[in-house]
């Protein structure tokens, strides 16, 4: 998945209006990390998107950096206060500037891996960026038994003389989910529309946990808020 300039432009405003709280999430995730590695002071957020979590992590860690493959998202992330660097690259083969106390991969981004081999490669590569005893936190996509086939979502934002609607329709296709996202943006200059399709793999808990184990970073599942798949948290040997 590579986010377009249009999608990147409206990503934060839509999710903020829907109640997304990056500051609270960063605080919770920092707690998960520091419970396992007290004194952790560096974090690398992989597939960091617009960098909203990175900016919030800067309140808790001395060294904060990101990795983001989409140019449009990376441009936004690298301008965030407190962010040292945002590197280009895929989660399977990016180059980092140092080893980190914590690596995070949020926003269900790991679900974009097309198969179990790619999942193994991504988890292994992220684990390699950790110092021994470092913590890897992954926010997984839905598992097959919890995915809602045919789910429809919708949201409308009104602000600054414009209206932004985001409509989604999600279907299952074998071991994949396909979500069509349709935007309509109306403002003083007129109306524009665009849409994108996101394809993610419905990995099982077993596939995730085996990937962590093979990476030398055995994990446990930690519950998240209601209607959320939770987190996978591993500590590198």
Does residue 149 contact residue 140 with C-beta atoms inside 8 Å? no
Q: For the chain, what percentages of helix, strand and coil (3-state, to nearest 5) are there? A: 30, 35, 35
Residue 210: per-residue pLDDT: 98
Residue 12: give its domain's CATH number. 3.40.50.150
Q: pLDDT at position 226, please?
A: 86
Same domain, 180 and 207: no
**pLDDT confidence of residue 225:** 85
Of 73, 36, 79, nearest to 58 by C-alpha is 79
What's the predicted TM-score (pTM) here? 0.96
Looking at the structure, do residues 24 and 101 belong to the same domain, yes or no? yes
Question: pLDDT digit string (tens) for 51-108?
Answer: 999 999 999 999 999 999 999 999 999 999 999 899 999 999 999 999 999 999 999 9
Taking only the tens place, the pLDDT of each residue in 169-187 is 999 999 999 999 999 999 9
Query: What is the distance between the alpha carbons of residues 217 and 210, in angstroms, rounded to a whole number?
Result: 10
| Overall number of domains in the chain | 2
Name the residue range of residue 161's domain: 152-201
- In degrees and rounded to multiples of 5, residue 138 shows phi and psi of -125, 135
Please indicate, yes or no, whether residues 194 and 226 belong to a single structural domain of this protein.
no
Amino acid 2: pLDDT: 64
3-state secondary structure of 220: strand
pLDDT, tens digit, for every residue of 126-147?
999 999 999 999 999 999 999 9
pLDDT at 1: 56
**CATH code of residue 169:** 2.20.130.10
| pLDDT for the residue 224 | 87
**pLDDT higher at 227 or 148:** 148
Average pLDDT, the chain: 96
């Amino acid at each position: 998945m590579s986010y377009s300039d249009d999608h990147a432009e409206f990503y934060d405003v839509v999710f903020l209006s829907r109640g997304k709280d990056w500051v609270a999430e960063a605080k919770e995730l920092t707690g998960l990390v520091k419970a396992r590695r007290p004194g952790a002071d560096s974090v690398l957020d992989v597939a960091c998107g617009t960098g909203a979590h990175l900016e919030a992590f800067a309140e808790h860690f001395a060294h904060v950096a990101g990795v983001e493959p989409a140019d449009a998202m990376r441009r936004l992330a690298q301008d965030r206060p407190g962010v040292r660097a945002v590197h280009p690259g895929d989660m399977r083969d990016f180059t980092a500037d140092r080893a980190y106390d914590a690596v995070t991969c949020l926003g269900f981004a790991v679900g974009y891996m097309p198969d179990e081999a790619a999942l193994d490669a991504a988890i292994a590569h992220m684990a390699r960026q950790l110092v021994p005893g470092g913590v890897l936190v992954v926010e997984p996509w839905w598992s097959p038994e919890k995915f809602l086939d045919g789910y429809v979502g919708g949201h409308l934002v009104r602000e600054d003389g414009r209206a932004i609607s985001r409509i989604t329709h999600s279907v299952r296709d074998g071991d994949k989910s396909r979500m069509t996202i349709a935007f309509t943006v109306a403002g003083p200059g007129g109306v524009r529309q665009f849409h994108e399709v996101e394809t993610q793999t419905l990995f099982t808990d077993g596939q995730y946990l085996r990937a962590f184990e093979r990476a030398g970073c055995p994990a446990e599942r930690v519950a998240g808020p209601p209607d959320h798949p939770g987190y996978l948290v591993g500590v590198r040997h």
